[in-house]
Amino acid sequence: MKRIAIYPGSFDPVTNGHINLIKRAARHFDKVIVAVAKDSQKKPLFTIEERIDMLKEVTKDIEGVEVDSFEGLLVDYVKRKGAKVVLRGLRAVSDFEYEFQMAHMNHKLFEEMETFFMVTGAEEFFISSNLVKEVARLHGCVKGLVPEYVRQKLAEKFGKGSE
């Protein structure tokens, strides 16, 4: 039986923290599906197609990683993919409270599903997509916070300065 894990998120944009978690997860699961959420509640900077493109580009050399998208309940997507594990990254204690509630709600909706929490790498714990967007919007340097391909896409969105 294949061990499949789903790593859901908005990935707007994908950061080095996300990549760290994906690489580490790929060592423990046969397949890691990075699932971009089509969340109508948020107003993303990048379209779903752009986010999928960026993820495919920056994960192309990581064995066992697939990029996909979904909308609706995560538990329904997990069932469709034949998975029983959802991965969530934790940067700080403040992330835990929300993730803890979500894990319990998801487990209530699909008892066979488990949430695996992974602590973000020590060098990436302060990085968030929102902070990266804010720095790029104000023409600050995001080098080292996101993969080079993503840095280029941010520079295209906001103009020079994201270098």
42 counts as catalytic: yes
Q: Does residue 151 have an active-site annotation?
A: no
Decide if 28 is catalytic.
no
Instruction: List helix spans (H) across the chain.
Output: 16-26, 48-59, 74-80, 93-109, 129-137, 148-158
- Cis before 13 (ω within 30): yes
User: Which residue of the set 10, 31, 51, 129 is catalytic?
Assistant: 129
Catalytic residue among 3, 27, 42, 104: 42
**Of 23, 79, 91, 157, which one is the catalytic site residue?**
91
Which one of the listed residues 10, 18, 133, 153 is annotated catalytic? 18
Q: What is the 3-state secondary structure (H, E, C) of 111-136?
A: CCCEEEEEECCCCCCCCCHHHHHHHH
The H or E element that residue 35 is part of is: strand 31-37
Say whether 91 is catalytic.
Answer: yes
Supply the residues annotated as catalytic.
18, 42, 91, 129
